[in-house]
Amino acid sequence: MFSKIKIDLLKNKKVKGYLSYAKGEIVLIVIGISIAVNINNVIDAKKKENMLSGIMKTTQDELKVDIEEIDFLIERYEEEKENYNFILDSLDSRSMKDCPKCPFVLTNFIAFHPKTRGYQQISNYIDSKVKTSDSLLFKISNFYKSSFKLLKIWPWMICKTI
């Protein structure tokens, strides 16, 4: 259809009409490309949003598990506090034979191992999206970095569970 119009315009030597037709065609092509680019940008933004949402969900779930583990460890060590104090006191005066639970206190060590998958995903996301300005990502990343520094200060916390 459009090619017939072009041919007719050229045959009748209506250059002005042909040029306006060509301009119209160029405008339609530019509009089509703009729409395609806009749709692609929307799709990419949605993919990034979904990926970030998944990363945040993973991190949230891991933090919940870590908190539950820490609560369990605190409760367990609070229960053992009496035995620890007995051991410390018996180093000077009493015999450990008077404490049947004492040998198991030291061999029953349970270490805390923080989950790091979410943190690694956040680090990779930040590395690949250097221009990101999401302060929550940076706050989470810094939280993990400082926590890992603390675990290096207290290496007994990252020992393998017996």
pTM listed for this prediction? 0.59
**What is the pLDDT, as a whole number, of residue 120?**
86
Mean pLDDT, consecutive 10-residue stretches, the chain (162 aa), reads 65 68 88 96 92 91 91 84 77 65 67 82 76 73 81 50 35
Total structural domains within the chain: 1
Contact between residue 96 and residue 102 where contact means Cβ atoms under 8 Å apart: yes
Vertex 78, ends 76 and 80: CA angle to 5°? Answer: 75
**Which residues span the domain enclosing 124?**
2-158
Give the CA radius of gyration of the chain: 34
